[in-house]
Chains A and B, each alone.
Chain A
Amino acid sequence: MDYATMLGETVTVLFIVMCYTYLIRETIAFRFVQATYVGLGIGHGLVMVWGYLTTKTIPAIMAGNVLLIFPFAMGLLLFGRLKKQYMWVYRYPLALLVGAGLGLQIMGMLKASLIDQVVSTMSVSLAPTLAGFNSVIILFFVIASMTYFLFTVRGHETSKVNPVLGNLMKAGQYVLMGAIGAGFAASFLGRLAVFMDVMERVVYFIPKLLGLM
């Protein structure tokens, strides 16, 4: 291991340990790492964006592509948000961004997120296979969760008026809870991956330093 890598690894491990002191209580070591991380992140992003501006946008404008002045100026107007009296300036590029974004989204969304999804949900297979079983379950889950949303009225107990609908709503509630739980579990899995990565750095640090790995 060369000296630069060794220094990098040492600082990394030191910062990881300093960061995890938060688990005991909020320490000055944790706050130092937090501030450094945020500063580095913003600094890195800023350098990249600055590089993008100086190597692409400005040379393109100088080369005669004057149309690029418009998005560039719109981008500058976004900084109006930083001062309360110029807040109104910031609304124009924001409206443009939201409008253009929505317009682009709707074009593909209708097919990808609505029509194709409805077709896929309705394509029920009664074949005695796992795929067939899944297709039936998915259709039932979609109907149950939609029932929960459509027939839930504040102060009105649907289960007393219509027990079948009430049970379907209850099933829908469980489906939604299951989906939210699965989403949370997926989020946990992602964080665990990051934790594994940092712990590997800490655990393998000494063997690496000694040239055993």
Chain B
Amino acid sequence: MESDAKMSIIQKIGYRKMIYLLVLVATIVPMIYTVGLPVVVSKQTSDLYEFIEKLPPNSNVAIAFAAYAGMYPDAQAATRAGLVHLFRRPLNIVLWHNSPDGPMLLGGELKYVKMGSRIYGKDHVILPYVAASEATTSAMGTNIRGVFSVDSFGTPLDQIPLMKNINKATDFSLHIVMAAAGGNEEWAVRQWNIPHRVPIGAFTISIVYPALIPYWRTGAIVGMTNGVRGGAEYESLVGAPGPGLRRTDILSAVHLLYVGLIVVANMEMLKKKRSEK
């Protein structure tokens, strides 16, 4: 009992649970009291934005929508802002699903896209789900009709006006991989960029981002966004505030907390080492 009384509150709760509690506070407080910290746009994000912005009108853009519900919140902001940007420009968009969760998630995002005078089938087409693999990506590059015979609504591709002159990778000016949780971007580089010289763009999650930087440096990937942070950057470029900018304060607060915890833990370790000597 006596030793219990001597224990501090932190020791009573336990260090791990204390960290959980602090992360919870650092997440909830900025959610209620928003500061609106400024967002500095990275070179990778601005490169992607500029590339899309400079595409000539009526260019064909292929989108592989590969969002899985489990990690989607990380790519949601960039995906939404990306779709808003792509549909705002006079581009022909061919989108297909590379994940079984895709059709469900895309429906939620398209609500934020202003379609204006856009007509389905004339300037944009949504193709159904196809299991993602390097083989599928390669097949799509050489013969889209070999993979899809109909669109998401069951209309044969030959009856869709936009698809009349589209059947292979070289018909596109840009191939974008959206919200993939790994692999898809590298497949696109290997199967669309290397053999067909189609530029690749990526709205990706933070876990995948570091692995793609070498491809951006070589120019195979023209630009990309990095998770929520990249989403916030893209939202500010597009001028469509959404979940990215809303969550920037939380990201900053939790990062500050973690930096603080790293400093405290290291100081504690040094103190322990010194007392052992």
A residues bordering B, Cβ < 8 Å? 23-24, 44-45, 48-49, 52, 55-56, 60, 100-101, 104-105, 107-109, 111-112, 116-117, 119-120, 179, 182-183, 186-187, 189-190, 192-200, 203-204
Contact = CB atoms under 8 A, between A and B. Distances in A.
Contacts of B227: 186, 189-190, 193
B73 interface: yes
Contact of A203 (B28, B128, B209, B254): B28
Contact of B100 (A45, A116, A195, A200): A45
A54 to B, nearest CB: 12
Given A112-B194, A190-B227, A193-B227, A104 B138 contact: yes
18 contacts: A23-B20, A52-B128, A104-B134, A105-B190, A108-B189, A186-B207, A186-B209, A187-B207, A190-B74, A190-B205, A193-B205, A193-B206, A193-B227, A193-B247, A194-B71, A196-B73, A196-B251, A199-B24
A67 to B, nearest CB: 11
B210 A186 contact: yes
Contact of A49 (B100, B191, B254): B100
Interface string B196-239: 00000000011101100011011010000001110000000000
A200 B32 CA distance: 10
Given A44-B101, A182-B210, A186-B210, A192 B190 contact: no
Interface of B: 17, 20, 23-24, 27-28, 31-32, 70-71, 73-74, 76, 100-101, 128-131, 133-135, 138, 149, 186, 189-191, 193-195, 205-207, 209-210, 214-215, 217-218, 220, 227-229, 243, 247, 250-251, 254
Given A44-B100, A49-B100, A196-B250, A104 B190 contact: yes
A203 B195 CA distance: 49
A117 B215 CA distance: 8
Nearest to B193: A112
Nearest to B103: A48
A116 B74 contact: no
Contacts of B209: 186
B228 A200 contact: no
A193 B206 CA distance: 9
B58 to A, nearest CB: 29
B70 A60 contact: no
A192 B195 contact: no
A194 B218 contact: no
B191 A108 contact: yes
B249 to A, nearest CB: 10
B100 A48 contact: yes
B228 A196 contact: yes
B218 A192 contact: no
A107 B27 CA distance: 46
Contacts of B73: 193-194, 196-198
Given A44-B100, A60-B149, A120 B217 contact: yes
A199 B17 CA distance: 17
Contacts of B229: 189
Contacts of A182: 210
Given A104-B135, A186-B209, A193-B73, 19 more contacts: A23-B17, A44-B100, A44-B101, A49-B100, A107-B190, A108-B189, A108-B193, A108-B195, A111-B194, A116-B218, A117-B218, A182-B210, A192-B251, A193-B71, A195-B27, A197-B76, A199-B24, A200-B31, A204-B31
A108 B187 CA distance: 9
B28 A199 contact: yes
A162 to B, nearest CB: 30
A108 B141 CA distance: 13
Nearest to B229: A189
A179 B214 CA distance: 13
A196 B149 CA distance: 40
A189 B229 CA distance: 9
Contacts of A60: 149
A23 B19 CA distance: 11
B205 A52 contact: no
A120 B207 contact: no
A199 B30 CA distance: 12
What 8 pairs across the A-B complex have the smallest Cβ distances? A108-B190, A197-B73, A48-B100, A193-B74, A189-B206, A116-B218, A108-B194, A190-B206
